[in-house]
Amino acid sequence: MTPTCPACHTRPRRPGQYLCGPDWAQLPTAARRALSARGDRGKAMARLRELHHQLAAGTPLANIQITL
Ligand SMILES: [Zn+2]
């Protein structure tokens, strides 16, 4: 079963990314870069939590900020 995108809940998530293609493209460049950064796994999980918190709060994709 393909995981569903946590932003739109309709389209499948792209492999290796956190959102579907159209939603990923709406994220600010800085947020995309932070979420794509390789390295510290703990930090990557913290960034993912930031993304999910903002999605749960109804933050528009274009306004999402990843600070960690
Ligand atoms: Zn989506």
Average pLDDT, integer, range 15-33 = 94
Domain count for the chain: 1
pLDDT, position 15:
84
What's the whole-model pTM score? 0.87
Asked if the model's pLDDT at residue 2 lies above 90, the reply is no
Total Cβ atoms within 10 A of residue 41: 8
Residue 58 lies inside a defined structural domain of this protein: yes
What is the CA(51)–ligand 1 centre distance, in A? 13
pLDDT, position 59:
97
Residue 9 lies inside a defined structural domain of this protein: no
pLDDT, position 49:
96
The rounded mean pLDDT for the chain is 93
What is the CA(8)–ligand 1 centre distance, in A? 4
What is the CA(9)–ligand 1 centre distance, in A? 6
* Residue 58 pLDDT grade (very low, low, confident, very high; cuts 50, 70, 90): very high
Distance from C-alpha of 61 to C-alpha of 1, rounded to nearest angstrom: 25
- Domain of 55, in residue numbers: 27-63
